């Protein structure tokens, strides 16, 4: 059974077996990020005291502007201090992945969270990174939830 999906223009939040999921298909504006953080905080799930987040950035998604990046850095330090593991999967061509990876790593360094944040190039690698030490959810369950989130956003399913 699929978990509830919360939707905002260009992004969606859900969970699956103790993993919080954030999908970006549109512009990561300040308003969208503020909504996503509020939704994640009000619906976060914990497994063995650990908060785990999967962030998927579709090829169609933009990159945050300077004001939004500053907000995200502040959020990493304060509201998301309980996140013990975050796996980000920027999808798309190599250039897009490189830009997103650079932004994510830079924000992680500034927020002092480099040991908690992993950036991978494919959904398969994201699932591997998330599930390597977990019995649940299954890869199939997690993949089904992610596909449902893309469908809810009326975006092409991830490869």
Q: Which pLDDT value is given to residue 115?
A: 74
Q: Which pLDDT value is given to residue 79?
A: 67
Position 159 in a domain = no
Position 158 in a domain = no
For the chain, the domain total comes to 1
Q: Which pLDDT value is given to residue 33?
A: 95
Position 1 in a domain = no
Position 74 in a domain = yes
Per-residue pLDDT of the chain in tens (159 residues, 90 and over written 9): 789 999 999 999 999 988 999 999 999 999 999 999 999 888 765 444 567 889 999 999 988 899 998 898 888 777 666 677 889 999 988 888 888 888 777 777 766 767 778 889 899 999 999 998 787 899 999 999 999 999 999 999 887
Identify the domain containing residue 87 by its residue range.
6-152
Q: Which pLDDT value is given to residue 47?
A: 47
Position 86 in a domain = yes
Which CATH number does the domain housing residue 98 bear?
Answer: 3.30.750.24
Q: Which pLDDT value is given to residue 6?
A: 97
DSSP secondary structure string for all residues of the chain: -PPP-EEETTEEEEEETTEEEEEE-S---HHHHHHHHHHHHHH---BTTBEEEEEEE-TT-----HHHHHHHHHHHHTTTTTEEEEEEEE-SSHHHHHHHHHHHHHHHHHHT-TTTEEE-SSHHHHHHHHHTT--SS-HHHHHHHHHHHHHHTT-PPP-
Position 157 in a domain = no
């Amino acid at each position: 059974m699929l978990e509830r999906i919360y939707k905002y223009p260009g992004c969606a939040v859900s969970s699956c077996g103790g993993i919080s999921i954030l999908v970006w298909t549109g512009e990561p504006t300040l308003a969208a990020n503020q909504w996503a953080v509020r939704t994640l905080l009000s619906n976060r799930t914990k497994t063995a005291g650990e908060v785990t987040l999967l962030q998927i950035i579709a090829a169609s998604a933009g990159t945050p502007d300077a004001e939004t990046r500053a907000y995200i850095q502040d959020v990493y330090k304060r509201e998301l201090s309980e996140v013990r593991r975050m796996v980000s999967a920027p999808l798309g061509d190599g250039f897009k992945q490189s830009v997103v990876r650079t932004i994510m790593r830079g924000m992680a360094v500034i927020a002092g969270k480099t040991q908690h944040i992993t950036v991978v190039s494919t959904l398969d690698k994201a699932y591997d990174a998330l599930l390597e030490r977990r019995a649940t959810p299954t890869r199939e369950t997690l993949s089904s939830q992610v596909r449902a989130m893309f469908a809810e956003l009326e975006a092409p399913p991830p490869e």
